Structure 1
């Protein structure tokens, strides 16, 4: 067994900061940091997590959980109204106060006591404060009261600090006190008019939520919405948003943003379009790494940059340093960060024990699924569930592929789910290997379809073998049968 945490000898006369040793130091106590530490402790190491905010991180308090709580109330009401019998039982709009109260409960009222208890039960130490590297394996922590302590890593340091919303350099925007994702998911009121800059997942999800909560939403996007997904996903989400009263301005570029003395916001657009007037403006144009105050310059790395890692999550050129989750810019999704964390915690423990690490493509100590098998769900209306490559992405790689499309509304399970159900699904198949390399489904409540596709892609299951995976009837999973039949007909025709 490794040694327990050991305070190093210090003297009061020198006023030196308190020093401690652990096998592993984890900077950042979000879901990613928690999982790195937990797997390392399970592997026999001692671990400490350093956190300046709430234990549980962005996903628990300002991202995945509260945002989906907001969207869920909207989608539940829509689902009820789409089925006769239930439709007649529903009267009135959403109770906004009740929606926000449930959101608060889902976010644990921004109290991390439960997460702290979990750390204690897992045998993980917690230090509150701002962490910065001070050379190899040495971290200085500044507590909220200004006191400093030094923590030394015997084996490794893992940076799991995540990312922040990026605020583009639009004149006047920063001075206009814009909302970012944090403000949108924790807002105490619903603005009468909300302008959203950015047509990615965050922008579209928040447009869905706030339109459902009663805001008049204007969504500005330089290109089509959800531009990294299949084009039909963009089309169906755009159509539904407009049906819900959202003004979608694709191809719009803000030139300037100003907030007046009365609090209203004016967004001037490039060209001769009329300005957009709103009560709040939400910026959802991307993310930047939280690496600017970590002392990276003390080990020869650039502050404020994404950290490049290998498939064992080790930072290039530093055999003791790991970067896990958003900070390595591989896949900015909570579930992918936790996947990386499990690999990183295991490999850190294995290397600390002196084991030879198997870092082959699908070995136990690597995060290779981040390259080609990343599942994601946009909790928009309708939902978009996808994994692997789009048809365009496969073409960019020079792969010879074939595509099978099918209308989800023609599947019995979907037609039972809601009257007039609309949706679409696509398989992207590698023609040479005859395996699925991409899947996209768009429609209400399609999120649960994506894991079957993920297994097919990761397992590289031949299409001929998938014919024997029989979907239950009548469920939406029957889409798999219909897609495979479509592919078969296209090949024979």
Structure 2
């Protein structure tokens, strides 16, 4: 089989199929390890961790006076570079070799069913023919708006924001989603004057409203200028300075401007048209990640637009790898089994996500609005973390909120959201509860340790029972 794209998704598909005994080749035009390793998950968290650790320390009596100074930006950036292996993929190529996967550096594109042409980096050309499957795992790229003057400005996207080698004195961030709030948090902590421009009413529109509200409050307290209901109408660069005009009549100046305004699939110029699919489009797939209408082509990770998250893409990769191996061996796949080894059911019911801001936000499953739109009879149960002893011990003046969405007909959870310091570590327990459809009555017997932040689970169940 052949895998187009060697990010964490493509690597995981290759690992699973090779372990099942299939001869596997991987094609990558950039760096093995993909967006996550070099321009997303790893560098962004390396930038954010010092900011969050300092914020936590400032809330602990006896520590706050020791961390009042600025972060050592040079050291933070150097550590970020270390975590990205200085944008070199030798180690990941070595890992592919160690598991017996053939690696081809170059641009790969389909040339009809099961056929891939690779224009190699050295100028050569290779033709690969897959007996069983071709997997498209080429990911997504930043989507820039059509604005006058944008190309000349050379704006930052998520790639530049996570790989910049110097701290900009002034930074405009356009967007209100995860990339926008995380990068606003990171660069503000390193000393940038940050202005966050949000077209909508608030931050993180796909999460519960209180998540965006608490994070906005924290950004303002940290010195960021957060403006909602504001769109950029034009940009230019004058004598090295970025000038942004807004629909509210403001003229803003900065050293750099980051657009975090969406993603587009990296499916252009990979030969989709040679197999009857639209070039540059998201791929429609079934629950085994096989492209609709095909018996050999798979779309795994961001390209299928089901959940643009690294951990979900790797989950899909495990599902796809198992499905490809089973079909290659002639093993029947029970498509009627929603929780079988070959069904990516959690992509629908239990998608977890953590936003690494201060405070953190984490959620899994449906928000209240999504549950109501789905026609479910639900009840939202809210608890402030101020009622949790472990939260108060973790941080003086701990601020945060938890919400669980209960399906009243089944007495199970369909969604959970946490906002507060260190809540990212609570999300997996919520994911188990939602994915496992654990009855509320049984959750009552899952006793949280005292005094930990996880005691919020007990407070939520007490509030539900009244």
Q: TM-score range by the shorter chain?
A: over 0.9
Please, what TM-score do these two structures have when normalized by structure 1? 0.93
Q: Give the alignment partner of residue 250 of structure 1, picking from 213, 228, 243.
A: 228
Cα distance, 1:357 vs structure 2: 1.1
Query: Aligned equivalents of 2:362 and 2:146: distance in 1?
Result: 32
What's the offset of the Cα at 1:370? 0.5
State the match for 1:129 in structure 2.
106
Aligned pair count reads 464
Give 1:173's aligned residue.
150
**Cα-to-partner distance string for 1:248-297 (whole Å, 9 max, x where unaligned):** 1100011111111x2111111114x3211111000101100000010111
Residue 351 of structure 1 is matched in structure 2 by 327
Q: Secondary structure at the match of 1:109?
A: helix
SS at match of 1:195: strand
Q: Residues of 2 paired with 1:308 and 1:377: CA distance?
A: 26
* Equivalent residue, structure 1, for 2:17: 40
**Structure 1 residue corresponding to 2:257, chosen from 251, 259, 281:** 281
1:108 to 66, 82, 85: 85
SS of the equivalent of 2:203 reads coil
Whether the aligned pair in 1 keeps the contact of 2:141 and 2:266 (CA below 8 Å) is yes
Separation of aligned partners in 2, 1:238 and 1:144: 45
| Aligned mate of 1:78, from 27, 43, 55 | 55
**2:371 counterpart of 1:394:** yes
2:206 aligns with one of 197, 204, 228: 228
Partner of 2:351: 374
Residue of structure 1 equivalent to 2:95: 118
Give 1:76-225 correspondences, 5 Å limit.
Answer: 76-223=53-200, 224-225=202-203
Could you tell me whether the CA contact under 8 Å between 1:408 and 1:423 is conserved in 2?
yes
Matches of 1:202 and 1:318 in 2, distance apart? 34
Q: Provide the rounded CA distance (Å) in 2 between the counterparts of 1:276 and 1:225.
A: 20
1 CA distance for matches of 2:455 and 2:39? 35
Q: Do the aligned residues in 2 keep the contact of 1:167 with 1:174 (CA within 8 Å)?
A: no
| CA distance in structure 1 between the partners assigned to 2:463 and 2:78 by the alignment | 46
Q: Does 1:407 align with 2:378?
A: no
| TM norm structure 2 | 0.99
Map residues 288-307 of structure 1 onto 2, 5 A cutoff: 288-307=264-283
Q: 1:116 offset after TM fit, Å?
A: 1.0
Contact 1:377 1:385 in 2 (8 A): yes
1:324 corresponds to which of 300, 311, 318: 300
Q: CA RMSD in A?
A: 0.8
Kept in 2: contact 1:29–1:51 (CA 8 A): yes
**What is the distance in 1 between the residues matched to 2:187 and 2:297?**
41
Structure 1 stretch displaced more, 121-130 or 168-177: 168-177
5+ residue gaps, structure 1, are: 1-23
2:459 pairs with 1:478: no
CA contact (8 A) 2:306 2:347 kept: yes
Q: Residue 133 of structure 2 aligns to a residue in which SS? A: strand
Alpha-carbon distance between aligned partners in 2 of 1:301 and 1:40, rounded to the nearest angstrom: 25
Gaps of 5+ in 2: none
The SS at the match of 2:264 is strand
| C-alpha separation in 2, matches of 1:143 and 1:263 | 38
The DSSP-based 3-state class of the residue aligned with 1:465 is helix
Secondary structure at the residue paired with 1:145? Answer: coil
Q: Which secondary structure does the structure 1 equivalent of 2:418 belong to?
A: strand
Deviation at 1:409, TM superposition (A): 2.3
- Structure 2 partner of 1:431: 408
Distance in 2 separating the partners of 1:383 and 1:458: 22
Aligned-partner Cα distance in 1 for 2:416–2:383? 12
Shift, 1:175, TM fit: 2.6
- Contact in 2 for aligned 1:407/1:425 (Cα 8 Å): yes
Q: Which moved more, 1:341-350 or 1:115-124?
A: 115-124
Matched, 1:445 2:422: yes
| Higher Cα Rg, which structure | 1
1:462 pairs with 433, 439, 442, which one? Answer: 439
**Which of residues 231, 238, 244 in structure 2 aligns to 1:267?**
244
Cα offset, 1:91, TM superposition: 4.7
